[in-house]
Structure 1
Amino acid sequence: MDSTHILILPMPFQGHIMPLMEMTYHLIDAGFTVTFVNTDFNHRRLLSAAPDGGAAFSNTNSRLRLLGISDGMGSDEDRKDVGLSCKLLPSGMSPGLESIVRAAAAEGRPIQWILADFNMAWAFALANQMGLRAAAFCPPSAAMIAIALNVSKMIEIGLLTEDE
């Protein structure tokens, strides 16, 4: 029986990519097959850091496949602009994700799950449309999540102002 194939989609920022890459290795160790999808920009950066230029990661027989897709941004746009990225990623990346899912099925390696950074929740609608299961991964630390969930309380008790 073939292993379950999971597509992993991080938010395209280093603090999000690295925790999902760590999760990827744990999933592979547990017997899963993983397609890790980055933006083309981050994919090139990742492959340039690999000893063989990343050739091993494009092999369709590998349990780990690294792929890059368009982020929907022009070459002159600031990829460090979180607001702009959040605005453009859903429409920019959806066609590429859909192509990857269809190509994997055509190769006989169908993707069954999408594990996406919780900031990429727009991918869950695509997963649903394509009949895939979906799960969210939250890369921030527990302390960061606790802070985010309690901002209104901190404002209420005077630790923060509305502007902070």
Structure 2
Amino acid sequence: MYKSICLLFIIIFLPSCEKEIKSFKPTTKLENIMKNVELKNTLWDLRVENTCLTREIEKDESFKTFLKKTNDKDLISLTECEIPLIRCFAFKALVEKEYPGIREILLRHINDNEIVKLKNYDIELSLTVKSYMLEQLNPFSKTKNRFNKTEYIKIQDSFYKTE
């Protein structure tokens, strides 16, 4: 009887010990980002105009201003922000600027499962930060850093195995 209980205990609890759930850990606090006054004002204008992501945000005037007034270093820092929406804005800006290290930033977010809202005309969708970021580099996107179909399927598989 005692052996059976021990065996049952091992069967039930051993798998849970093996699987460690990983999640994205932001490294930048918003309060630290806001110490840069120009970045703070630019980000504020973007957030006031855009309370969520939109399908064609690159056409938005506040996003265009955000693009002009931020440099790659600021944007990379923002992809590490504790606020998921800001991470997405920054990633999209890096995509629009054709930042050459965009794929490495994407891979950093393989476990970024926080939820953001994406507004597509009258429909509002919920999706993970990593899904939004991955979608920016899909084979049909306009960026030169997009994945080809084979690469995209492979990276998609690795992204969704982690869930």
Which bin holds the TM-score, normalised by the shorter protein? under 0.3
RCO higher in structure (CA 8 A, sep ≥6): 1
TM-score by length of 1: 0.28
Whose radius of gyration is greater, 1 or 2? 2
Indicate the structure with greater helix content. 2
TM-score when scaled to structure 2?
0.28
Q: Which has the higher strand share?
A: 1
